[in-house]
Structure 1
Amino acid sequence: MKFAQKPIVRIAIFCIATVIGVIITLAAPPEGYTVELMRFLGIFVWMIICMVFTVAPDWLVLLVALVACVLLKVNTFSTIFGQFAGSTVWNIIVLSAFVNSMASTGLFKRIALKILTFFKPTYNGQVLAIMTSSTALTPLVPGEISKLGIMSPMSCSVSRASGYADHSKPAAGLFTASFVPIYIGSLAFMSGTPTVYMLLGYIGDHAAKFTWVFWAGACILWFVIILVLFYFFITRYYKPAEDSEVASSEVTAKEQYEALGPMSKGEKLSLVVLAVCLALWTTEAIHGISGLYVSIGAFAVVTIAGLFTNRDFGTRIPWLVVFLAGFILGILTLCSTTGFTNWVGGIITPILGPLASNIYIMVPIICISAYILRSFVVSQNTTTIIIYSAFAPIVLTAGGNPWFVVFCAYASTCVWNVKFTSVAYIQAEAFAGGFIEHKDVIPSSIAFMVINLIAMLASIPLWQLMGLA
């Protein structure tokens, strides 16, 4: 929250959280549970309070919480921090390094510009072209910021070349067309964002069945519905007074594409490596080679070819995401080993059980809870942890797969109603060069809340067929 940026407020909240945490830690454990549960519960409550009120960065709060668990002997250091040796963390490191090295060649910008040249230069055509280009990049680049860095300036160029005034509804519509498929759609593919691997870490052994194709299959209906409904929303709500042909936008795309010149050696190599990776990722169920090992092989190739250097190791790997993933997985490990999950399930199931026993009721509750929390909770991770801690025990107690809980929760945190809670939106606006501002796209965030809920509900039968709900 904004007010928590004042040092005196942060210190006060820290002290209050610490007192509450100590009281819980010293309390007698419930019958059938150990003192380790109470120690973890006290630390967990302290952690949530500090994260909700942004007393310190999420990574620091999580690190302090995990170290406190080691010092209080909640579990061993190797168990608590052992997730850094797991596949989730290494998938994030290797996949990000591999694909970000290819992005530096300009290949993805070339692909996006080429797609733009195929569509009619009407407003509807522009929206469809930008959405198609953004969607094409979604599974290719692991990370929203890199993709937004390509498409946000492009939507600005198309808007201004078409004569749409900055901050006008048509301009905001073109920005939304570039933003939504990337920011939201990246969750639909394991190669779309490192966050996917972090979400898989939430569900433990249930993650074993997820290959690139299986994850995409679980998310594809949700993603397609979002794309289709957003296209209709943008072309209706944001459309200009007259949707006549605007030849200049088509010329702009062609001119930018031609200005790139012939493909460089780096682009050609990247294209071949990417094609091989996509083929291996999508056929993992046939050949049995883990996507992690495919990514490592691809990373080795682009590094040997000189597309990735020692300096890039520090700049092209999202180390903040890596550490956040490892820390969050450590917390989730403790939720299991201390009995926290079973204890919460025993408390919440009698309260929410009657409502949550029906997935068509539980999913809207999860989505709406995320929308509300994100109005004042800055961190998507904090919101997801809170919701998962509340609802996953109910699903696990019933013998179900908690995947849909964490997916619905995190996807629903992607709202941008409040600017300061959406880092991706802030970055996209900066990339856009000033042709839109937050108030111009608040309607699109509200539309997302409705469309996302529709897409989630429509996906439930598919999830049930796949054994995910």
Structure 2
Amino acid sequence: MKHKKLIAGIVGIVLGVIITFFIPTPHGLTHAGMIVLASLVTANIFWIFNVIPSFATGLLMLSSWVVLGAVKFEIAYQIFSTTTMWIIIGGLGLGAAATKTGLIKRIALKIMTFFPANFRGQTLALFTAGTIIAPMIPSAHPKTAMSTPIAKGISNALGYKPFGKGSSGLFLAALWGFFVTEASFLSATAQNYAFKGLLPAKAQAQLNWGNWFIMMIPWTIIILIGGYFLLTFLFKPKDDKPVSREFISKQLDELGPMSREEKITAAVILVAIVFWILESVFNIPAAVTAIIGVSVLVALKVLIPEDFKTRLSWNTIIFIGTVMALGNVMQSAGLTTWLRRILAPAISPIIGNIYITVIVLPIIIYLCKFVVVSLISTGTLITIGLLPFFSQMSFSPAIIAIIVTTSVNVWLLSYMNAPILTGSAAVQDSMASRGAMAKSSIGYMFLNIIGLLICVPLWQLMGIA
């Protein structure tokens, strides 16, 4: 429909006005809670239909709370002064340096030289390279944009036809390694910090870099091993003989010797990851480590002021901040208590048993992805819906953030996953067929639930389930 956005915008605003000013405040809910509820309804419609840029919708939502007297400015915008926001900014800065200097591409290509130049070997190489690189860049789009052209070059060198089995499989191997494994590391994507930021303080403290990594080890193993066998089963060409590694060697030769900027960036990122892992030992917040790392890169002229304008996604940073603000404000306005009572009959059976949760909640998220395109928006809506029930769960709410971050990354239909669209655009939509994308997504959806189920005993040993 030509005017879909305009119609959706009008409907969203009208619903917000009706809820705020014309519907009587239900028993047990304050007028402030009604304002927050109304703004959330309007914002969701704006996000689902992309009426205006997502970050602008978020800022208007926060401002409406202040203008209509639901909460004070200090509460509405408090999230922007938290460590979570600064680690996102710092992490994106480190990732920008790794991409700018060519360090990430060099690491990926170098790893590929250790594997056979056939479908099985290069699929495994893309899995390995992506998993190693994932925690270094907290943004999916540059990783998919960088990895898929490498996969296309390998596909061409191996003589695979566009949209054929081999071409589709290598494209998906690049996405699987560089994008899917983002859920394995807290620092691998800004959305992990966004979902973590919606949790209570105690649950957030449980999700430091090291704990997140440990909690996800069984899932990561299942996703990598299961994903490798899935892609080779579905897409391995009949004749899978090794060929020359000339393409990879040529790409490395074009990069030349490792530059001063690459060496500095590699050292800074390595030190940052060590400090993130040992955050509780050094007692230095992860955000401070990230900001110091970026400052060092600026001081040594690896990053310049212009990079902060062009290489950092400020609209994403602002959007994440606005959605994270919902947690505190909903509690402050009394909305969480009211929603808990209203939604209890439907939600309580799902969260009453950890095994039921890790099966049913991903399925709910998969279904939501047919409607809500944005990965962060989907995860935020699910987390906010469960927010009133965190105190009733027999397991830590930290697990909700884990389930959400693994389950929003589906690509059954092309529009469901923007980073994968970026990767596809980087190779002119010339590698994977729609059928291949759908089959691999269905496989991932099953593997994700299996991986989460296998994580449960570990989580129980850790005392969080």
TM-score band w.r.t. shorter chain? over 0.9
Distance 2:31 2:327 in 1: 18
CA contact (8 A) 1:28 1:38 kept: no
SS class of match (1:138): helix
* Residue deviations 1:299-342 (CA, integer Å, cap 9, x gap): 12111111111111111212122101111122222111112122
CA contact (8 A) 1:143 1:193 kept: yes
In the other structure, the counterpart of 1:258 is 253
How far apart are 1:152 and its partner, in Å? 0.9
Q: Give, as a single letter, the amino acid of the residue that structure 2 aligns with 1:395.
A: F
CA contact (8 A) 1:419 1:438 kept: no
CA separation of 1:464/1:14 partners in 2, compared to 1, >3 Å: closer, same or farther?
same
In the other structure, the counterpart of 1:344 is 339
How far apart are 1:30 and its partner, in Å? 3.4
In the other structure, the counterpart of 2:313 is 318
Match of 1:380 among 375, 380, 394: 375
Match of 2:154 among 158, 164, 188: 158
Distance 1:370 1:438 in 2: 24
Does the alignment pair 1:182 with 2:178? yes
Match of 1:33 among 29, 44, 47: 29
* Residue deviations 1:109-128 (CA, integer Å, cap 9, x gap): 11111111111223211211
In the other structure, the counterpart of 2:114 is 118
In the other structure, the counterpart of 2:325 is 330
Distance 1:151 1:314 in 2: 24
* Residue deviations 1:204-231 (CA, integer Å, cap 9, x gap): 3021233211111122221221111000
Distance 2:379 2:157 in 1: 40
CA separation of 1:434/1:357 partners in 2, compared to 1, >3 Å: closer, same or farther?
closer
CA separation of 1:241/1:322 partners in 2, compared to 1, >3 Å: closer, same or farther?
same
Distance 2:268 2:384 in 1: 40
Distance 1:398 1:268 in 2: 46
Distance 1:427 1:351 in 2: 37
Distance 2:321 2:214 in 1: 26
Does the alignment pair 1:48 with 2:44? yes
Does the alignment pair 1:239 with 2:236? yes
In the other structure, the counterpart of 2:401 is 406
* TM-score for the superposition, normalised by structure 2: 0.94
How far apart are 1:434 and its partner, in Å? 4.2
CA contact (8 A) 1:89 1:322 kept: yes
In the other structure, the counterpart of 1:68 is 64
In the other structure, the counterpart of 2:410 is 415
Distance 2:206 2:386 in 1: 22
CA separation of 1:270/1:46 partners in 2, compared to 1, >3 Å: closer, same or farther?
closer
Structure 1 residues 125-274: aligned runs within 5 Å: 125-205=121-201, 206-245=203-242, 247-248=243-244, 250-274=245-269
CA separation of 1:447/1:396 partners in 2, compared to 1, >3 Å: closer, same or farther?
same
SS class of match (2:302): coil
* Residue deviations 1:7-44 (CA, integer Å, cap 9, x gap): 3x333333333333233223333334322112222222
Identity between Structure 1 and Structure 2 (%): 30
SS class of match (2:356): helix
Match of 2:79 among 69, 78, 83: 83
CA contact (8 A) 2:20 2:35 kept: yes
SS class of match (1:167): coil
CA contact (8 A) 2:149 2:426 kept: yes
Match of 1:362 among 332, 357, 361: 357
* Residue deviations 1:344-378 (CA, integer Å, cap 9, x gap): 11122233323431121122221111111111322
Q: Give, as a single letter, the amino acid of the residue that structure 2 aligns with 1:56.
A: I
How far apart are 1:399 and its partner, in Å? 6.4
How far apart are 1:437 and its partner, in Å? 4.2
Greater shift, 347-356 or 203-212, is seen at 347-356
Distance 1:438 1:421 in 2: 16
Distance 2:172 2:432 in 1: 12
Q: What value does the CA root-mean-square deviation take over the aligned residues?
A: 1.9
Match of 2:458 among 456, 459, 462: 462
CA separation of 1:67/1:458 partners in 2, compared to 1, >3 Å: closer, same or farther?
same
CA separation of 1:46/1:261 partners in 2, compared to 1, >3 Å: closer, same or farther?
closer
* Residue deviations 1:221-268 (CA, integer Å, cap 9, x gap): 2122111100000111101012222x22x2322232233322111122
Segments of 5+ residues of structure 1 without an aligned counterpart are none
Q: Give, as a single letter, the amino acid of the residue that structure 2 aligns with 1:391.
A: L
Distance 2:384 2:135 in 1: 29
CA separation of 1:167/1:24 partners in 2, compared to 1, >3 Å: closer, same or farther?
same
* Residue deviations 1:365-410 (CA, integer Å, cap 9, x gap): 2111111111132222332233223333233234642222233223
Greater shift, 360-369 or 159-168, is seen at 360-369
Distance 1:43 1:300 in 2: 38
SS class of match (1:375): coil
CA separation of 1:419/1:434 partners in 2, compared to 1, >3 Å: closer, same or farther?
closer
Match of 2:273 among 258, 278, 281: 278
SS class of match (2:205): helix
* Residue deviations 1:43-73 (CA, integer Å, cap 9, x gap): 2222223322333332222222221111111
Distance 1:65 1:463 in 2: 36
CA contact (8 A) 1:28 1:35 kept: no
How far apart are 1:438 and its partner, in Å? 4.9
